[in-house]
């Protein structure tokens, strides 16, 4: 096991009917900005429920945060917070709204140009406004970690940042708030949580027994849950398990003390920025090819993955690895998430530009061995057509 | 899954050579009381290493905290802190030293008689001194939770308390500091972590997939590690996994959103208070009988335990349950921890007094269904002879 630090002060408030507790979770005198996305929080009544819970506090609203939240949109929220002298943020939504809220929290009091926060991936952040979240879409784990991703479409850039100052103070996780999600978003969430787990697990062995078994737990749960939760969207128990598994997949725990990969995510980010694929779609496309191309350096863990997650025990080492990768792809497809670039009308001719953007963003030595060069990324993309 | 709150702000600093980082972890101007146990921290050099890391800070020492830390001993530390106006506590040791330090932290500024903290199980605690820990014995999880147990021998009382104010600020977990532990303490630690997990897992199903699989992960790891770590005490990887598994077994995570039992612990506490058994010895004695006596109310989870932890798939339901309980007992015995009261010279005639003490301490309706009456506890004890 590698040495590690682990710290996560986010308070989780999990279960049906917990939104009313915002009244004790948000400071009594807070001047609150409620941030949300495209309007589903309003349509479903969750926004009203949140405002009711906040009682007589001064509340401002900021809607319209996009999937892959954009810098320009978020800067409008920053201006609103500064203008109205608000002092507490409350994100109501999924990973995009929460990521965006983290950026706003860090940017409001930031001394220089807030774009720098993304250029240095959060290193220059020294403070942030306090904020909480009400999660409505299980997927990214943003509700219990200190990272976020922001997109700047005019630069075709999708950049991640991380800071000890942007842990949510609390996150309310009410699984019943996910009943009304579109099927495609639920499917994306399952894929996202699955690949988050894989990025921290499927590298090389360091003898981290707890982290490995926890990761294998989450993968097996997602495989079992995925089809069921799509088939029976009103089942509270299924939704609750999906929500908690997705949070666990990226709250720091399974990644502590082990190598981490994240090459699939980094290549995927460029696909979203250039071609508008959903985040999870990019992961479903890139991961199977990434595993195929890097099978030698991941061999030991691929065999462990085949055995413990997919219970594949027959055949040669290579046959078991192939079977595990094929099962992974088939799992994504079974959820309705396509796994080929051509499914999204991205053709071979697009690859040069994707590679150029990876180069532009410094993504020239990715993965747990820093050996995913641009040439390797190109091979992965070519295999993903 | 049941509703739950989860909050754990303890910072974990894990790995070999991390004690030097106390210099950044402890406030620069802190006036520190270093608390430790029977002297092994001094003998092994860990105490010197800690003091070196603390540099020029004012340091006072308080040694001699016993296994099952006693109220009278801890009150001497409270007096020292008050007299010398110390403002930071640093526990160097295992669960007893850390539990004791939590009590001292809460007692120093407590308005009334600190015994009340134990009588009301922490409910009246409204503040505590800040403290950190350097863990030298993996077992109790106290390094990453907010609970403690204190013994008052003259009252034959061993009482638990819990408070949001007594989370360690940080815990340094250096597995190499456990190389010199006596075999019996390591074996006790494995049993302790195992039974902590069981208390939060082996109750009745509530469909908590993550919590169940995490618990099963820890149990399988402890079963695999136990014999190896005893056979090869200098293996860093084994020690690291044992240490992290023991922390995970009682840091709140696997117990969030599920029913919890703890009847084995409560009966065990009386055995320690009256007959001086090590904490883990009491668990090894009580648990197998507790599972036998309560097999009907635990039936579904016992079958899951048999299948997923012990991989027992043959035979009738009852045969598989019996086999799982037998394997549990055999596992403890294989570690050298005896599982019968008679192994510790506690005879049938002692049971009346144990039951009287349970009654005295209000332990009349234990377990996840509150149905472990004094009569059930008596049956368990009689089966444990």
A287, A264 in Cβ contact below 8 A?
Answer: yes
Question: Which of A1, A18, A214 has the CB atom closest to B3's CB atom?
Answer: A18
* Residue A2 with chain B: CB contacts under 8 Å: 15
- Chain A residue numbers touching B225 (CB-CB < 8 A): 209
Which of A1, A21, A177, A309 is most worth mutating to test chain B (most B CB atoms within 10 A of its CB)? A1
Residue to mutate among A3, A170, A247, with most B CBs inside 10 A, is A3
Q: Per-residue pLDDT tens for B363-374?
A: 999 999 999 999
Give the per-residue pLDDT at A153.
Answer: 87
**Residue B370's CB: how many other CB atoms inside 10 A?**
10
| Nearest residue in chain B measured CA to CA from A206 | B237
CB contact under 8 A, A3 and B18: yes
Q: What is the pLDDT along chain A (385 residues), one digit of tens a residue?
A: 999 999 999 999 999 999 999 999 999 999 999 999 988 999 999 999 999 999 999 999 999 999 989 999 999 999 999 999 999 999 999 999 999 999 999 999 999 999 999 999 999 999 999 999 999 999 999 999 999 999 998 888 888 999 999 999 999 999 999 999 999 999 999 999 999 999 999 999 999 999 999 999 999 999 999 999 999 999 999 999 999 999 999 999 999 999 999 999 999 999 999 999 999 999 999 999 999 999 999 999 999 999 999 999 999 999 999 999 999 999 999 999 999 999 999 999 999 999 999 999 899 999 999 999 999 999 999 999 9
Nearest-Cα distance to chain B for A38, in Å, is 29
Q: How far is A144 from chain B (nearest CA, A)?
A: 11
- List all residues 6 or more positions away from B269 whose beta carbon is below 8 Å from its beta carbon: B149, B158, B159, B160, B282
Determine contact: B245 vs chain A, CB below 8 A.
Answer: yes
Instruction: State whether B12 and A3 contact (CB < 8 Å).
Output: no
pLDDT of residue B157: 82
% of chain B exceeding 90 in pLDDT: 96
Per-chain mean pLDDT for chain B: 97
| B15 and A3 Cβ atoms separated by less than 8 Å | yes
Which residues in chain A touch residue B194, judged by CB atoms under 8 angstroms apart? none
Q: What is the largest CA-CA distance in chain B?
A: 66
> A256: which chain B residues are within 8 Å (Cβ-Cβ)?
12, 14
A223 Cβ under 8 Å from any chain B Cβ? no
Pinpoint the alpha helices (H) of chain A. 22-25, 40-43, 46-54, 71-84, 95-108, 115-119, 183-201, 209-231, 236-249, 263-275, 279-293, 299-308, 317-334, 351-360, 374-383
B237 CB near a chain A CB, below 8 Å? yes
Domains, chain A, with CATH or none: 11-177 (3.40.50.1970), 182-383 (1.20.1090.10)
Of B209, B216, B221, the CB nearest to A209: B221
pLDDT single digits (tens) B291-304: 999 999 999 999 99
Note whether B210 contacts A256, CB cutoff 8 Å.
no
- Cα(A37)–Cα(A41) distance, rounded to whole angstroms? 7
Under 8 Å between Cβ of B337 and B285: no
Q: B5 and A11: CB-CB below 8 Å? A: yes
- Which of B122, B133, B191 has its CA nearest to residue B160? B122
Contacts of A224 in chain B (CB under 8 A): 209
Chain A residues with beta carbon closer than 8 angstroms to that of B210: 217-218, 221, 241, 244-245, 248
Interface of B with A in 328-357 (CB under 8 A): none
| pLDDT exceeds 90 at position B39 | no
- pLDDT at residue number B267: 97
Contacts with B244 from chain A: Cβ below 8 Å: 1, 210, 257
Block residue for tokens 């007299």 = B83
CA-wise closest residue to B40 among B63, B71, B74? B63
Q: List, in order, residues 6 or more apart from A64 with CB less than 8 Å away.
A: A37, A38, A39, A73
> Do residue A6 and residue B14 have CB atoms under 8 angstroms apart?
yes
Residue B14 at interface with chain A, using a CB cutoff of 8 Å: yes
Task: Tell me the shortest Cα–Cα distance from A133 to chain B, in angstroms.
Answer: 14
Residues in chain A within 8 Å Cβ distance of B232: none
Q: Is A185 on the interface with B (CB under 8 A)?
A: no
Of the candidates A12, A208, A210, which has its C-beta nearest B6's C-beta?
Answer: A12
Can you say how many angstroms the Cα of residue B26 is from the centroid of all Cα atoms in its chain? 25
Instruction: Tell me which of B194 and B158 has the higher pLDDT.
Output: B194
| Chain A residues with CB-CB distance to B20 below 8 A | none
pTM: 0.97
Count Cα atoms within 13 angstroms, Cβ side, for A270.
26
Burial of A1 (0-12, 13-18, 19+ CB in 10 A): buried
Cα B200 to Cα B253: distance, rounded to the nearest angstrom? 10
**pLDDT for the residue A178:** 95
DSSP B303: H
Contacts of A3 in chain B (CB under 8 A): 14-18
The whole-angstrom distance between B349's CA and the closest CA on chain A is 43
Contact A244 B1 (CB under 8 A): yes
> Residues B158, B103, B94, B76: what is their CA dihedral angle, to the nearest 10 degrees?
-90
Tens digit of each residue's pLDDT (9 = 90 or more) over B87-128: 999 999 999 999 999 999 999 999 999 999 999 999 999 999
Res A324: pLDDT: 98
In chain B, the residue whose alpha carbon lies closest to the alpha carbon of A308 is B217
């Amino acid at each position: 096991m590698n040495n590690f630090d682990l710290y996560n002060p986010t308070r989780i408030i999990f279960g049906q009917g917990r939104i009313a507790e915002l009244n004790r979770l948000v400071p009594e005198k807070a001047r609150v900005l409620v941030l949300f996305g495209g309007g589903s929080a309003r349509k479903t009544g969750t926004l009203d429920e949140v405002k009711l819970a906040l009682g007589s506090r001064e509340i401002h609203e900021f809607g319209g945060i996009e999937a892959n939240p954009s810098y320009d949109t978020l800067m409008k929220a920053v201006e609103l917070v500064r203008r109205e002298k608000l002092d507490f943020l409350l994100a109501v939504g999924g990973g995009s709204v929460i990521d965006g809220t983290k950026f706003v929290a860090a940017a409001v009091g930031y001394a220089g140009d807030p774009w720098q926060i993304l250029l240095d991936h959060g290193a220059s952040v020294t403070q942030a406004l306090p904020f909480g979240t009400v999660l409505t879409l299980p997927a990214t784990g943003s509700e219990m970690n200190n990272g976020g991703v922001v997109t700047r479409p005019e630069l075709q850039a999708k950049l991640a940042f991380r800071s000890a100052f942007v842990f949510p103070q609390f996150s309310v996780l009410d699984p019943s708030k996910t009943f009304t999600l579109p099927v495609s978003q639920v499917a994306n969430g399952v894929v996202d949580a699955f690949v988050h787990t894989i990025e921290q697990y499927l590298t090389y062995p360091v003898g981290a027994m707890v982290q490995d078994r926890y990761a294998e737990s989450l993968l097996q749960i997602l495989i079992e849950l995925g089809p069921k939760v799509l088939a029976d969207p009103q089942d509270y128990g299924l939704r609750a398990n999906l929500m908690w598994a997705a949070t666990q997949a990226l709250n720091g725990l399974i990644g502590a003390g082990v190598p981490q990969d994240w090459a699939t995510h980094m290549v995927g980010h460029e696909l979203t920025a250039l071609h508008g694929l959903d985040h999870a779609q990019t992961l479903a496309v890139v991961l199977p090819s990434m595993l195929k191309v890097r099978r030698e350096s991941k061999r030991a863990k691929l065999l462990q993955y085949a055995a413990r997650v997919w219970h594949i025990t027959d055949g040669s080492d290579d046959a078991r690895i192939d079977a595990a990768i094929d099962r992974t792809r088939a799992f994504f497809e079974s959820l309705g998430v396509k796994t080929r670039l051509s499914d999204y009308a991205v053709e071979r001719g697009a690859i040069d530009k994707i590679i150029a953007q990876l180069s532009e963003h410094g993504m020239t030595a990715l993965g747990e061995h820093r050996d995913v060069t641009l040439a390797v990324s190109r091979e992965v993309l070519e295999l993903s057509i």
